[in-house]
Amino acid sequence: MGDLKGLLERVNEAEKVEGPEAKARKFMEGRFTLRDMYDQWENRPETRTLAEVLQMLPGGNQISEDQLGVAEEKMAGWRSLCSRMTRRVGSRE
């Protein structure tokens, strides 16, 4: 089943500005943005790797090393793009 409780605890640890309830509400209302995802990823503890995060998800231990390598490469590209995004003027995010 994975360690969803542990994963949620890690997300709560990473929260800085917006509380976990507000993030969960945004997600459930369909307002969770790429910026929110980027902030979550960047605020994780430095020792937390993609493999460790995936191990906490149900079925995460079934991912091969090759698939994990491809995912990490894609994440690096995604993070690079997100870091270059600008916030819209007047945005409440």
pLDDT single digits (tens) 20-56: 778 788 888 888 887 887 877 777 766 577 788 788 8
Q: What is the pLDDT of residue 14?
A: 62
Position 70 scores a pLDDT of 92
Q: Which two tokens stand for residue 67?
A: 């698939």
Supply the range of the domain harboring residue 19. Answer: 4-83
Tokens in use for 30? 């369909």
Q: Is residue 18 part of a domain?
A: yes
In a domain, 41, yes or no: yes
In a domain, 93, yes or no: no
Question: Number of folded domains in the chain?
Answer: 1
In a domain? residue 72: yes
Domain-embedded: residue 88: no
Contact of 58 with 4, CB cutoff 8 Å:
yes
- Work out the average pLDDT over 4-26: 71
Residue 66 lies in a domain: yes
pTM of the complete model beyond 0.85:
no
Write out the two tokens for 18.
Answer: 């917006």
